[in-house]
Amino acid sequence: MKLDQGQVLVVDDNEMNRDLLSKRLRRQGLAVVVAENGRQALSEMQSQPFDLVLLDIMMPELNGYEVLEQLKADPLLRHIPVIMISALDDIDSVVRCIELGAEDYLFKPFNPTLLKARIGACLEKKRLRDQEQAYLKQLQEEQEKSERLLLNILPKPIADQLKQQQRTIADNFAEVTVMFADIVNFTELSSRLSPTELVSVLNTIFSAFDRLAEQHGLEKIKTIGDAYLVVGGLPIPRPDHVEAIAEMALDMQAAIAALDFAELSLNKPLTMRIGINTGPVGAGVIGTTKFTYDLWGDTVNTASRMESLGLPGQIQVTAETYERLKDRYQFQGRGAIDVKGKGEMVTYLLIGRK
């Protein structure tokens, strides 16, 4: 740091010493603030930033040792370099100041050339430290940004495993609840809207669903076009995953009903089909580039069938899900439907809470 780039605090109870130091420093282009005693010095340091402190030892109230000790004990001030300037020329004083954290020690009367060199060295160290702290702060901000982006893709426990360089991340879960949601007549909708309008509509809807998933402690897996996939009970198992999914499904219906379709450039309200199933799944990270955390297994396929074979505006669930919810929620039996690859299955429509 050049000598014309820095603010220095001069602390000395002797007015003549203060004036002498201040004039020399100002001639070198430094900004100077003076303090007549230790308490005033600490107050000045807490109210404005300094790049260097020139500190006398022998002062009333708080002496230089005490000021230095308090300064170095304060996490917000301890980085400020301190040069002790004192008439005490014994080695014990020098050692004590260095042990307390002083950068340097000069004896009175000081040599102006030596003082200038010592000040320049301290200011340069301060500049390098400030630069390092700025780089570290920027690095931390970038790491936090990367962390947020990673958590937008993966659940936190899975992201932690990935950061530990686990090559294969896959688990089996004995029981979870899987939900698919899909916008009815999406193909017709997409043909009437511009790409920008369509993305705006989907973003509005799925952002509301994202908030609901976070609110209910559920894991959003992905969106596929107009389809939304969310699961309860992984990657951290929880006993109430079925109820949590049911609550989110009902809240999703309410969120869709509350949309201002005219504001979204739609000529009529939207409706959704929702399908839910409960059972075992496999889950893990798929791919090495543009990777994703995904689910697989019959439970997932069946949940998808519950959605695709469902009724507009309704929440269709399998018998497995119904059995776990029937005591706390209202259902309407739909009877048996033909499900590809499964044959006839008895399904139910979740109507609401009891």
169-218: pLDDT as tens digits: 778 899 999 999 998 888 777 777 888 888 888 888 899 999 999 999 99
The residues, ordered by sequence, that sit 6+ positions from 30 with a Cβ below 8 Å of its Cβ are: 3, 4, 6, 7, 8, 119
Select the more confidently predicted residue: 210 or 146: 210
Asked if residue 151 is part of any domain, the answer here is no
**Same domain as 329, residue 206:** yes
What does the alpha-carbon distance between residue 22 and residue 205 come to, in Å, rounded to a whole number? 65
Same domain, 290 and 222: yes
Band (pLDDT 50/70/90 cuts) for residue 2 is very low
Output the six-digit token pair for 30: 């430094």
Q: Judge whether 240 and 284 are in contact, CB under 8 Å.
A: no
| Catalytically annotated residue among 334, 340, 342, 354 | 340
Which own/partner contact pairs does 109-116 have at CB distance under 8 Å and 24+ positions apart?
110/85, 112/24, 115/24, 116/3, 116/28
Confidence of residue 287 (pLDDT cuts 50, 70, 90): low
Domain end, chosen from 145, 175, 208, is at: 145
In this structure, are 121 and 78 located in the same domain?
Answer: yes
Has 129 been annotated as catalytic?
Answer: no
Q: Does residue 330 share a domain with residue 275?
A: yes
Residues 88 and 224 placed together within one structural domain of the fold = no
Distance of alpha carbon 201 from alpha carbon 134, whole angstroms: 41
Decide if 273 contacts 184 (C-beta within 8 A).
yes
Q: In which residue are the tokens 């896959």 written?
A: 170
Percent of the chain with pLDDT over 90: 47
Q: How many domains does the chain have?
A: 2
Identify whether residues 209 and 138 lie together within a single domain.
Answer: no
- Let me know whether 30 and 90 are in one domain: yes
Say yes or no to pLDDT of 41 above 50: yes
At 88, which CATH number? 3.40.50.2300
Q: What is the DSSP string of 66-114?
A: HHHHHHHH-TTTTTS-EEEEES---HHHHHHHHHHT-SEEEESSPPHHH
Higher local confidence (pLDDT), 161 or 69: 69
Residue 150 covered by a domain: no
Q: Which range is least confidently modeled, 243-257, 260-274, 329-343?
A: 260-274
Domain match, 129 and 162 both: no
For this structure, is 305 an active site residue? Answer: yes
Q: What is the pLDDT of residues 224-258, one digit of tens each?
A: 888 999 999 988 899 999 999 999 999 999 999 88
Residues 179 and 301 in one domain: yes
C-alpha 53/C-alpha 313 separation (Å) is: 72
Residue 82 shares a structural domain with residue 204? no
Catalytic residue among 305, 324, 326, 353: 305
Same-domain status, 269 and 288: yes
Query: Which domain range does residue 31 map to?
Result: 7-145
